[in-house]
Amino acid sequence: MSDIRFDGRVAIVTGAGTGLGRSHALELARRGAKVVVNDLGGAVDGSGAAISAAQSVADEIIAGGGEAIAHGANVTRADEVADMVAAAQARWGLIDILVNNAGILRDKSFSKMTLEDFRAVVDVHLMGSVTCTKAVWDLMKEAGYGRIVMTSSSSGIYGNFGQSNYGAAKMALVGLMNVLHLEGAKNNIRVNTLAPTAYTRMTEGLIPEEAGKLMTPESVTAGLIVLAGEDAPSRTILCAGAGGYAATRIYETDGIFLAPADQTPEQVAKNLDRITDPKGQEPYEQGGQQTMKFLTKAAAQAGIKLG
């Protein structure tokens, strides 16, 4: 298998001043991409701002013979993101790859969390990804090419105590991916989601240092490169960390049909074991498949021929 290369491609990586984003930016550049290194330069909780982190990564890329520019756009502000995209266009033309990696943490139990802290985390992770994606979407459609990677988390897919804001935002990105995968397909825009686990400043203190040494950002970046490549899949949730790689898929059970007279809460409760039985479950590609499944069952019982 030939090496995955990005020669001539232009990539924007948000939150690329440290941690995973830095690793993503450096590897994309090493493989030939021209990289916009975006980072607000704030603290883990989103406070503060400085261009120094992004500039340091851009300088490292340039020193290694690559091409890069630094930009300190706040991903939640459409005007700043538009300026970042314009800067990339002015320098290199089209934007081929967007890696939505920027994020903050404000962990607390839901009882103790303020609405401000909930909103702030959702704004950066979800709306930041929406804002950046919106800024490049039509450019990618016109070019007939685009690779977009969202960054989710097991905290959103499966849950994690004290991270209701983070988890809600991260699962929302899976829903965004599902829809954009459908809308972008005809224009060769492939949209995927990375669900990483790594030892960075966002996980420091949560994971023992010895274990953290196994959880390198570079091991996660290996997965990112595949999702951003020419032959990338689409609508894939790739989980990566410590050298482990897996895929999360959302399945729907076959379920049951209840006749009109039995469509009561009591009958639903009585049949929960059958409803949740995984036998015959399937991954769906779009919401209409669920509707058709239910209609098919109902029509068969009523003796109605569909189609």
Assign residue 83 the CATH number of its domain: 3.40.50.720
Cα radius of gyration (the chain): 22
191 and 255 both lie in a single domain = no
pLDDT attached to residue 215: 85
pLDDT attached to residue 204: 59
Of 208, 226, 248, which marks where a domain is finished? 248
273 and 242 both lie in a single domain = no
32 and 77 both lie in a single domain = yes
Percentage of the residues of the chain whose pLDDT score is greater than 90: 86
The ranges of the chain with pLDDT < 50 are none
pLDDT attached to residue 213: 78
208 and 85 both lie in a single domain = yes
Pair 9, 32: CB distance under 8 Å = yes
Pair 148, 100: CB distance under 8 Å = yes
135 and 174 both lie in a single domain = yes
197 and 295 both lie in a single domain = no
pLDDT attached to residue 49: 74
Residue 135 lies in a domain: yes
Count of the separate structural domains present in the chain: 2
292 and 262 both lie in a single domain = yes
pLDDT attached to residue 236: 98
167 and 279 both lie in a single domain = no
Sign of the alpha-carbon dihedral angle for 16, 18, 21, 27? positive
199 is catalytic: no
pLDDT attached to residue 67: 98
Residue 264 lies in a domain: yes
Residue 239 lies in a domain: yes
Residue 4 lies in a domain: no
pLDDT attached to residue 305: 87
85 and 170 both lie in a single domain = yes
3-state class of 191 per DSSP? strand
pLDDT attached to residue 214: 83
Q: Residue for token digits 């992004």?
A: 54
Question: What is the residue range of 85's domain?
Answer: 10-248
- Provide DSSP, 241-294: ETTEEEEE--EE-------GGG-SHHHHHHTHHHHT--TT-EE-SSTHHHHHHH
pLDDT attached to residue 205: 61
Of 228, 248, 268, which marks where a domain is finished? 248
Residue 34 lies in a domain: yes
pLDDT attached to residue 42: 72
228 and 260 both lie in a single domain = no
Q: Annotated catalytic residue: which of 145, 158, 166, 284? A: 166
What is the model's pTM? Answer: 0.94
Residue 1 lies in a domain: no
Sequence-ordered list of residues with C-beta below 8 angstroms from that of 162, at least 6 positions apart, any chain: 107, 108, 109
Residue 17 lies in a domain: yes
187 and 43 both lie in a single domain = yes
pLDDT attached to residue 84: 98
238 and 180 both lie in a single domain = yes
Of 206, 232, 248, which marks where a domain is finished? 248
pLDDT attached to residue 22: 98
